[in-house]
Structure 1
Amino acid sequence: MSSSESTSQTTSEAARRERRRSNSLLLVLAVGFLVFGAAAGALYYTLRPDTLRIAVGPPGSDDYKVIQAMADAFGDESRTIRLLPIETNGAVEALALLGAGKTDLAVGRGDLDMPAEAQTVAVVRKNFVVLWAPSGSAGKGSKRKLALKIKEVADLAGRRVGVIGRTPVNAALLRVVLSASGVEADKVIVTHFGTDQTEELARDLTIDAFMAVGPLDSKVTSDAVAATARLRGEPKFLAIETSEAIALKHPRYESEEIPPSVFNADPAWPGDKVETVSVSHLIVARKSLPETTVAAFFRQLFAVRQAIARQVPGAAHITKPDVDKDTELPV
């Protein structure tokens, strides 16, 4: 073999070895990229936020504002849960969507009919029943004089009560209070007023007493009390003395007290504590949601609650449910 042929053979062998090394390197790189991609994909899948749908309404309500602020707070930082608010006409529709499996969470009032698979996650706010009657007569020339002043719930028999809020559950709650106080509910006439009709409520001289259901710092309630006091005389707040019995018979309600001066300082409205009942607005979840997902939502909610309250004061009412109390709705 000539020297030129030997040199050519050596060069070809070296080239083959170099190609094998290059192919091996490319294979290693390809496998490495595949492993990295698979790991990155698994990590993304593991760490990606879960998006929970939450039904709430109506738009513009206190509940809707709180949930929207909550969704914004959840989206501002790297968190494991995101919220997607679903607008509804109110709590009844929100709970119906939950029952139909079209949402993961819903905001509803505790004395509404709950879906069978609903479970309580958090309390959005407590609504207190406030009952009061005017101390003045129904007006000039009216036959309804001071002698007909209402001093207690039992005096509401045969009277007309103006209820703030058009939801039928307020009227149903009033019937519970009346029945527990020995008053036949059918003998009390209920007239509903919108939350923006406090002046009309106060000017309606056919109304003998008034009822509001909301947080104690509710502007609607305080405005209604002030309007009736201005036009009908100082308010007489009616104690629901059977509140504990109501709470025992109807676990969806709680026995509470309205503190003195909560609606006005001078003069004090009320002048002393007043026994009443409350009903909670709740965030409820489907039982089929993974427990770890609900737990993550719960932790995030109470981590951002104070931040939300700075934007929407109503968020300050959010509390943890009482796990030690027997309720109709499981926690």
Structure 2
Amino acid sequence: MDGKQIPSSDSSNRQDIQRRKARSLLLVLAVGFAVFLAAAGALNYILQPTTLRIAVGPTGSEDHAVVEAMAEAFADESRTVLLSTIPTAGAAESLGLLGNGKADLAVGRADLSMPSDAQTLAVLRKNYVVLWSFSGSGGKAARKKTAVKIAEVADLAGHKVGVIGRTAANASVLRVILSGSGVESDKLAVAQFGTDEIEKLAQDRTIDAFLAVGPLDSKITADAIAATARTRGAPKFLSIDASEAIALRHSRYEAEEIPPSVFNAKPAWPEE
């Protein structure tokens, strides 16, 4: 013998078994790691926040500001839902985007045409209809008209009403009020002004009464009342006596009272 050791067959078998075990362990580890990565990826996908597109407008409006604040709050606090704002020209366009699938949510008005499959998720605010004429008391220009020409809704016949907001919904709600009060809408003229045309509205001497639609804390409504008071005299608010009957016939509307002094404290607008 030359002193070299010849491994026995048992030793060789043991080494083969150990190598196979090592390969099996590596394979198990590799498969386990792959399964872990797949599970982690699936979990990460499942836990990704859902982004909902919400149409709202016009830009700079109270509705737009509220939704922007909501979007920021969701971004800071929610891990499951995010809001992506789609600016629009107004409620009608917002509902149109919802109807054609370009938005997941929309801020609209109940008295506008809603998509057939739309559902109300939340009421952001209530809009109040404010109708007023003028008393004739006030500045020099206002004193030219000393008598109250319009004391109630029925007196609107034969006159011209200035409607704030160019949306068709505002003109529509005026027609509903007129009809419920026994006044034919074709017996008076209606002129619509943009929310940025308050001064133009107040200076228009052909207008005898005014209509605004918005929340009770609406700056637009308050500014319009103040502007017409400067040019035409103290406002004379018109009570919609048929409001409860209108609400019964039109489920989209409700009959509610506007609190005294909500638009001005001294003098109180309205007084009651």
TM-score relative to the length of structure 2: 0.91
Whose radius of gyration is greater, 1 or 2? Answer: 2
Aligned residues: 271
User: Is the contact made by 1:92 and 1:108 (CA closer than 8 Å) also made in structure 2?
Assistant: yes
Q: Which residue pairs with 1:194 in the alignment?
A: 194
User: Using a 3 Å threshold, how does the CA distance of structure 1 residues 180 and 78 change in structure 2: closer, same or farther?
Assistant: closer
SS at match of 1:74: helix
In the alignment, residue 101 of structure 1 is paired with which amino acid? G
Q: Which residue pairs with 2:104 in the alignment?
A: 104
Q: Which residue pairs with 1:266 in the alignment?
A: 266
CA distance in 2, matches of 1:261, 1:137: 18
Q: Which residue pairs with 1:68 in the alignment?
A: 68
Per-residue CA distance 1:257-284 (angstroms, 9 max, x = gap) = 1000001111111111xxxxxxxxxxxx
In the alignment, residue 22 of structure 2 is paired with which amino acid? S
In the alignment, residue 150 of structure 1 is paired with which amino acid? I
Q: Which residue pairs with 1:132 in the alignment?
A: 132
CA distance in 1, matches of 2:138, 2:235: 13
In the alignment, residue 262 of structure 1 is paired with which amino acid? V
CA distance in 1, matches of 2:32, 2:102: 42
Q: Does residue 42 of structure 1 match 2:45?
A: no
CA distance in 1, matches of 2:139, 2:73: 51
User: Is the contact made by 1:139 and 1:205 (CA closer than 8 Å) also made in structure 2?
Assistant: no
User: Is the contact made by 1:138 and 1:145 (CA closer than 8 Å) also made in structure 2?
Assistant: no
Identity percentage of aligned residues:
66
Q: Which residue pairs with 1:21 in the alignment?
A: 21
User: Is the contact made by 1:127 and 1:215 (CA closer than 8 Å) also made in structure 2?
Assistant: yes
User: Using a 3 Å threshold, how does the CA distance of structure 1 residues 84 and 186 change in structure 2: closer, same or farther?
Assistant: same
User: Is the contact made by 2:178 and 2:185 (CA closer than 8 Å) also made in structure 1?
Assistant: yes
Q: Displacement, 1:7?
A: 3.7
User: Is the contact made by 1:138 and 1:205 (CA closer than 8 Å) also made in structure 2?
Assistant: no
Q: Displacement, 1:8?
A: 7.2
SS at match of 1:36: helix
Q: Displacement, 1:227?
A: 1.5
Per-residue CA distance 1:42-87 (angstroms, 9 max, x = gap) = 3223322112122222222222222222222212234211122222
Q: Displacement, 1:93?
A: 1.9
Within-5 A mapping of 1:82-231:
82-136=82-136, 145-147=145-147, 149-231=149-231
User: Is the contact made by 1:138 and 1:232 (CA closer than 8 Å) also made in structure 2?
Assistant: yes
Per-residue CA distance 1:155-202 (angstroms, 9 max, x = gap) = 111011111111121111101101111111111111112212222222
Q: Which residue pairs with 1:240 in the alignment?
A: 240
* Structure 2 residues without counterparts, runs of 5 or longer: none
Computed over aligned residues only, the root mean square deviation of the Cα atoms, in angstroms, reads 2.4
In the alignment, residue 231 of structure 1 is paired with which amino acid? T
CA distance in 2, matches of 1:267, 1:180: 31
> Greater relative contact order: 1 or 2 (C-alpha under 8 angstroms, separation 6 or more)?
1
User: Is the contact made by 1:138 and 1:206 (CA closer than 8 Å) also made in structure 2?
Assistant: no
CA distance in 2, matches of 1:117, 1:172: 23
In the alignment, residue 237 of structure 1 is paired with which amino acid? F
CA distance in 2, matches of 1:90, 1:78: 27
Q: Displacement, 1:12?
A: 4.5
Q: Displacement, 1:102?
A: 2.4
User: Is the contact made by 1:162 and 1:209 (CA closer than 8 Å) also made in structure 2?
Assistant: yes
Per-residue CA distance 1:276-295 (angstroms, 9 max, x = gap) = xxxxxxxxxxxxxxxxxxxx
CA distance in 1, matches of 2:148, 2:239: 18
CA distance in 1, matches of 2:137, 2:69: 45
User: Is the contact made by 2:135 and 2:147 (CA closer than 8 Å) also made in structure 1?
Assistant: no
Per-residue CA distance 1:199-248 (angstroms, 9 max, x = gap) = 22222221111111011101111111111122211111101011111111
SS at match of 1:98: helix
User: Using a 3 Å threshold, how does the CA distance of structure 1 residues 139 and 160 change in structure 2: closer, same or farther?
Assistant: farther
CA distance in 2, matches of 1:269, 1:35: 71
SS at match of 1:126: coil
In the alignment, residue 102 of structure 1 is paired with which amino acid? K
Q: Displacement, 1:23?
A: 0.6
My pick for the range that moved more, 195-204 or 249-258, is: 195-204
CA distance in 1, matches of 2:115, 2:141: 52
CA distance in 2, matches of 1:5, 1:224: 109
SS at match of 1:26: helix
